[in-house]
C-alpha cells in the first residue's frame, strides 16, 4: 500500500528498486531524503551536526531497509535543496557481508539525482546509513539574566535558536551544535571567521573541509562514548520508571571547541526556526559596577554586571555555568524588586566567553548613579626662564594645576561603588588627591569612590601638568 507524502516534507527523495524485473515498490518516509521501500522501516534516525561559522551541517541518517536477492537500486534526489551531492555516502550498518555497493550511477537527463546499485545475497532487513553535508542550517545563542532585589545574585538562562533554510524538512532529528573557535582545515581557516561559506567553495576545498569536519566529529563521538562509560551507574534491580524530565543539552569538551547535544528528537521543518533551552543557572554571584570613563563612556555613568563563567557551589553540573564556553549572543537583563516586579535593564551583545573567564555586561548609561564634573580652578606657576643667544628671555618650564570636583549622586537605597577613569591633556602628576588612585598611564587616572544610600557627595582633587620648551 502506497503512503502519500505531504507538500511540507522533503523535496529530496530516494527510491529503491528491487530485482531484475524493474518492478518499483514505493512507500514514503518523512526524513531529510525519502527512501521508499516495499516494507516500512522498523526504525530510523536523523542526526544534524551544525557548525555555524562556515554554514555547514553534517547530516547522518540511518534506517532499516528490506532487501531482496539480486540487484537493488536506491535513487537519491536533491532537487530544491542545498545538499552537497559530492558529499553523499551510503554505508551498511548491518549485514555487511551480504550487501555490496557495486557502483554509483546517474539517471539519464538528471542533474539532481544519483543511484546506488546494491548487490544483495540475502532477503530481509538491513540497517543502512546515508550521510551528506548541507548549507542553510544555522544557530545562534541568546540569554536571559534576572537579578535579585539586591543585585548581588542572578539567574541566567541560555537558549539556542536553530534556523532551517536548507530546503529540507527534519521532522525527527537529533541536533548537535558546535561552539568555539574551530579551524576545520588549516589552509582555509578563514571559514572560522565567516569570510566565505561552505556552499561557495570549489569541490577541492569542500572535500578538505568535509574531511576536517569528520575528524573533529570522530573525536567528539569518542569523547562522548568515554564520558558515557565512565559516568554510567551500576544497574539496580527493580528500578522504578523515572518521571519524564525536561530536555537538556549535553556539553562536551573537545580541546579547542565544544559540542552541544540537544536531548531527544526535534522537529525542524524547512523555513522554520526553533528555540531550545541550553541551560538554566540559579543564584549566580554577580557584581554590579558603575563606571564612568572619559574614553569609553564619554564621562557618563554606565552600569555593568560582572560574573564568571564558572560552576557555582551546589549547582547541577548539567545546567550550571562553567561547564562549557558561552557562545556569542545577546543577553537580556532584568532586575527584580522586593515585590517580584521586573524592570528591563537592557540588551547587551556578549562575545564568546571561555570557561572560567569573567563576563562583563555593559547595560548602558544609567540614572541610578549620576556623576557631574566641574573644573573649579586653574593655576599656572613655577616659571623658569632662560636667555637666548640674542639675549632675549623665554619661559623654559612651568606648571599647570587643574582643580576638579566630581559631584557623585547615588539615587539607590543601597550603597554603591563607582569606578571613575579620567584622562588629562598631558603627562600629569598628582596634586591634592585625598584618596587612593591608580595611574593607568601617563595621562590617565582611575579611582573607586563609594557612596552611601541616597547620598550626594563631592570629590575634590587636583592634578599637575609640567610643561617644558
Give the per-residue pLDDT at 4: 42
Output the furthest CA–CA distance in the chain (Å, rounded): 118
Q: How far is CA 91 from the centre of its chain?
A: 32
User: Do 324 and 256 meet the contact criterion of CB atoms below 8 Å apart?
Assistant: no
In the block, cell 626662564 appears at 385
User: Do 70 and 119 meet the contact criterion of CB atoms below 8 Å apart?
Assistant: yes
Give the per-residue pLDDT at 76: 83
User: Do 42 and 80 meet the contact criterion of CB atoms below 8 Å apart?
Assistant: no
SS3 17: strand
In the block, cell 557631574 appears at 372
Give the per-residue pLDDT at 287: 92
Q: How far apart are the first and last CA of the chain?
A: 99
SS3 43: coil
Q: pLDDT for 101-158, tens place per residue?
A: 999 988 888 888 888 899 999 999 899 998 898 989 988 899 999 999 889 999 999 9
Alpha carbons within 13 A on the beta-carbon side of 290? 24
Q: How many CB atoms lie within 10 A of CB 89?
A: 14
CA–CA distances in Å: residue 59 to residues 140, 262, 409, 431 = 19, 15, 58, 68
Q: Are strands 393-410 and 369-387 parallel, antiparallel or unpaired?
A: antiparallel
User: Do 246 and 319 meet the contact criterion of CB atoms below 8 Å apart?
Assistant: no
Q: How many CB atoms lie within 10 A of CB 91?
A: 12
Give the per-residue pLDDT at 226: 52
What the block records as the C-alpha cell of 433 is: 588627591
Give the Cα-Cα-Cα angle 70, 75, 76 (nearest 5 degrees). Answer: 145
SS3 249: strand
Q: pLDDT for 267-294, tens place per residue?
A: 889 999 888 888 888 889 999 999 999 9
Rounded to whole angstroms, the Cα distance separating 132 from 118 reads 19
In the block, cell 565512565 appears at 230
Q: Residue 50: which of 142, 206, 162 has the closest Cα?
A: 162
Give the per-residue pLDDT at 463: 93
Q: Kindly write down the DSSP assignment for every residue of 106-170, as one continuous string.
A: --TT-SSEEEEEEEES--EEEEEEEEEEESSEEEEEEEEEEE-TTSSEEEEEEEEEEEE-SS--E
Q: How far is CA 133 from the centre of its chain?
A: 21
Q: pLDDT for 84-110, tens place per residue?
A: 888 888 999 999 999 999 999 888 888
What are the phi and psi torsion angles at 206 (to 5°)?
-60, -45
Q: How many CB atoms lie within 10 A of CB 95?
A: 16
User: Do 286 and 345 meet the contact criterion of CB atoms below 8 Å apart?
Assistant: no
Give the per-residue pLDDT at 450: 93
Handedness of CA 12, 17, 18, 24 (dihedral sign): positive
What the block records as the C-alpha cell of 449 is: 569612590
Residues 6 or more apart from 402 whose CB is under 8 A from it?
375, 377, 378, 424, 431, 462, 463, 465
User: Do 323 and 251 meet the contact criterion of CB atoms below 8 Å apart?
Assistant: yes
Rounded to whole angstroms, the Cα distance separating 392 from 58 reads 82
Rounded to whole angstroms, the Cα distance separating 53 from 36 reads 34
User: Do 282 and 155 meet the contact criterion of CB atoms below 8 Å apart?
Assistant: yes
Rounded to whole angstroms, the Cα distance separating 98 from 105 reads 21
Question: Mind spelling out the 3-state secondary structure of 163-184?
Answer: EECCCCCEEEEEEEEEEECCCC
User: Do 396 and 385 meet the contact criterion of CB atoms below 8 Å apart?
Assistant: yes
What are the phi and psi torsion angles at 460 (to 5°)?
-90, 150
Q: Which residues of the chain have pLDDT under 70?
A: 1-43, 53-54, 179-197, 215-257, 317-319
User: Do 363 and 347 meet the contact criterion of CB atoms below 8 Å apart?
Assistant: no
Give the per-residue pLDDT at 469: 79
Amino acid at each position: 500500500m502506497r503512503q502519500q507524502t505531504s507538500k511540507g516534507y522533503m523535496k529530496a527523495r530516494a527510491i529503491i528498486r528491487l530485482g531484475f524485473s524493474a518492478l518499483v515498490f514505493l512507500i514514503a518516509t518523512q526524513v531529510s531524503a525519502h527512501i521508499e521501500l516495499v516494507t516500512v522501516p522498523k526504525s530510523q534516525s536523523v542526526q544534524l551536526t551544525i557548525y555555524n561559522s562556515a554554514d555547514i551541517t553534517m547530516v547522518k541518517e540511518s534506517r532499516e531497509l528490506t532487501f531482496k536477492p539480486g540487484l537493488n537500486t536506491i535513487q537519491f534526489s536533491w532537487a530544491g535543496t542545498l545538499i552537497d551531492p559530492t558529499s553523499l555516502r551510503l554505508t551498511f550498518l548491518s549485514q555487511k557481508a551480504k550487501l555490496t555497493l557495486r557502483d554509483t550511477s546517474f539517471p539519464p537527463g538528471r542533474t539532481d539525482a544519483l543511484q546506488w546499485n546494491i548487490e544483495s545475497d540475502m532477503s530481509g532487513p538491513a540497517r543502512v546509513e546515508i550521510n551528506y553535508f548541507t548549507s542553510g542550517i544555522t544557530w545562534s545563542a541568546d540569554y536571559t539574566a534576572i537579578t535579585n532585589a539586591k543585585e548581588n545574585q542572578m539567574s541566567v538562562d541560555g537558549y539556542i535558536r536553530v534556523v532551517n533554510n536548507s530546503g529540507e524538512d527534519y521532522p525527527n532529528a537529533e541536533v548537535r551544535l558546535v561552539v568555539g573557535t574551530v579551524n576545520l582545515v588549516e589552509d582555509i581557516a578563514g571559514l572560522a571567521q565567516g569570510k566565505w561559506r561552505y556552499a561557495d567553495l570549489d569541490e577541492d576545498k569542500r572535500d578538505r573541509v568535509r574531511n576536517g569536519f569528520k575528524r573533529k566529529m570522530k573525536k567528539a563521538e569518542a569523547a562522548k562514548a568515554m564520558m558515557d562509560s565512565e559516568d554510567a551507574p551500576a544497574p539496580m534491580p527493580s528500578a522504578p520508571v523515572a518521571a519524564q524530565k525536561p530536555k537538556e543539552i549535553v556539553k562536551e569538551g573537545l580541546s579547542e571547541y565544544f559540542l552541544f547535544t540537544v536531548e531527544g528528537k526535534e522537529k525542524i521543518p524547512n523555513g522554520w526556526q526553533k528555540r531550545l533551552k541550553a541551560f538554566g543557572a540559579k543564584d549566580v554571584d554577580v557584581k554590579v559596577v558603575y563606571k564612568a570613563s572619559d574614553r569609553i563612556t564619554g564621562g557618563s555613568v554606565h552600569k555593568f554586571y560582572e560574573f564568571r563563567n564558572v560552576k557555582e557551589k551546589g549547582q547541577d553540573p548539567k545546567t550550571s555555568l562553567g561547564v562549557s564556553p558561552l557562545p556569542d549572543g545577546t543577553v537580556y537583563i532584568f532586575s527584580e524588586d522586593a515585590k517580584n516586579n521586573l524592570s528591563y535593564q537592557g540588551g547587551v551583545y556578549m562575545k564568546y566567553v571561555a570557561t572560567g573567564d569573567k563576563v562583563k555586561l555593559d547595560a548602558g548609561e544609567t540614572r541610578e548613579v549620576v556623576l557631574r564634573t566641574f573644573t573649579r580652578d586653574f593655576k599656572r606657576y613655577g616659571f623658569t626662564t632662560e636667555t637666548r643667544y640674542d639675549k632675549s628671555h623665554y619661559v623654559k618650564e612651568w606648571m599647570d594645576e587643574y582643580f576638579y570636583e566630581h559631584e557623585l549622586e547615588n539615587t539607590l537605597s543601597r550603597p554603591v561603588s563607582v569606578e571613575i577613569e579620567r584622562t588629562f591633556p598631558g603627562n600629569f602628576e598628582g596634586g591634592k588627591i585625598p584618596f587612593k588612585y591608580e595611574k593607568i598611564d601617563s595621562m590617565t587616572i582611575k579611582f573607586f569612590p563609594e557612596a552611601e544610600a541616597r547620598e550626594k557627595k563631592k570629590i575634590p582633587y587636583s592634578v599637575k601638568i609640567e610643561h617644558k620648551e
